[in-house]
Amino acid sequence: MLVSALDEEFVRALLLHPQPDLQTAIDRALAKLPRDARIGVMPAADATMAVLL
Q: What is the DSSP string of 2-46?
A: EE-SS-HHHHHHTT--EESSHHHHHHHHHHHS-TT------TTGG
DSSP letter for 47, please: G
Q: Look up the pTM and report it.
A: 0.72
Position 50 pLDDT exceeds 90: no
pLDDT at 49 > cutoff 90: no
Question: Stretch 17-38: mean pLDDT, rounded?
Answer: 95
Please state the rounded mean pLDDT for residues 15-20.
Answer: 96
Cβ-in-10-Å burial (0-12, 13-18, 19+) of 8 comes to middle
Cβ neighbors of 50 (< 8 A, separation 6 or more) are: 42
